[in-house]
Amino acid sequence: MIYGYARCSTNEKLQDINRQVRELKQQGATDETIYLEYESGAKTDRAELNKLLKTVTVGDTIIATEVSRITRSTKQLCEIIEFAKEKKLKLVLGSFVVDCSKELDPMTEGMLKMMGVFSEIERNIISQRVKSGMENAKAKGKTVGRPSVKADDIPSAFYRHYPKYKQGQLTKKDLSRLCELSYPTVYKYLKIIEEANHEG
C-alpha cells in the first residue's frame, strides 16, 4: 500500500498543502491513504503522523514531497528511519528514495540524516528571523499576530453541521467542504467549541 503524508504549518497557505496532495497522488497515493497535518515540523508528537505510523504494515511505502514535510527534527527522523527498517518500509521523500525493505545502504542512510540536519537548521533560522521581526514590530508599537477568534465569530453554518461531526456522521474534510472553510480554520473552530464545551 502507498501512503502519503502532507504537512504545512498553520501559518502557511492552503495552496501549499493542496500542491503536496497533487504530487502525492501522482506517485500513487489516494485521498483515502493521504494524511494531512497542520502542525510545525519541529513538533514531534503529531496526531496524523502517529496515525500513519500505526497504520502502515510490512512492505508499505510512505511518500512525502520532501524530508522537511515528515519532520524538521533530526532525532525524530532517525527514529522514523529505524521504524522503517523494522517494518521494511520504503520511504520516498521528494526525489530521495530510501528502500528499507532490504539492507539499507549506509551512504543512503547518512545522506538522509544529513538532509534532516539541514532541514532542522533551516527551521531554526526561520524561527529566529520570525522572532526578530516580531520583536522589531513590538518595539515600534505595532500589534503582532492575528486577532484571536472567539466562539461568537464562528459562522452559524459551522454550528449547524457540528452535531453531525460529533456523532461521527461527518469528517473534518466534510466540514471543510460544507462550510467552505480551509482545514486550518476547521481545526481552529473545533478547538474553540470543544474548549468552550469543556469549560461549560
Q: Are the C-beta atoms of residues 56 and 62 closer than 8 Å to each other?
A: yes
Q: Are the C-beta atoms of residues 18 and 12 closer than 8 Å to each other?
A: no
Residues 6+ apart with CB under 8 A from 135: none
* Annotated catalytic residue 9: yes
Q: DSSP states of 100-156 as a string?
A: TTSPPPHHHHHHHHHHHHHHHHHHHHHHHHHHHHHHHHHHTT---SPPPP-GGGS-H
Q: Mind telling me the catalytic residues?
A: 9
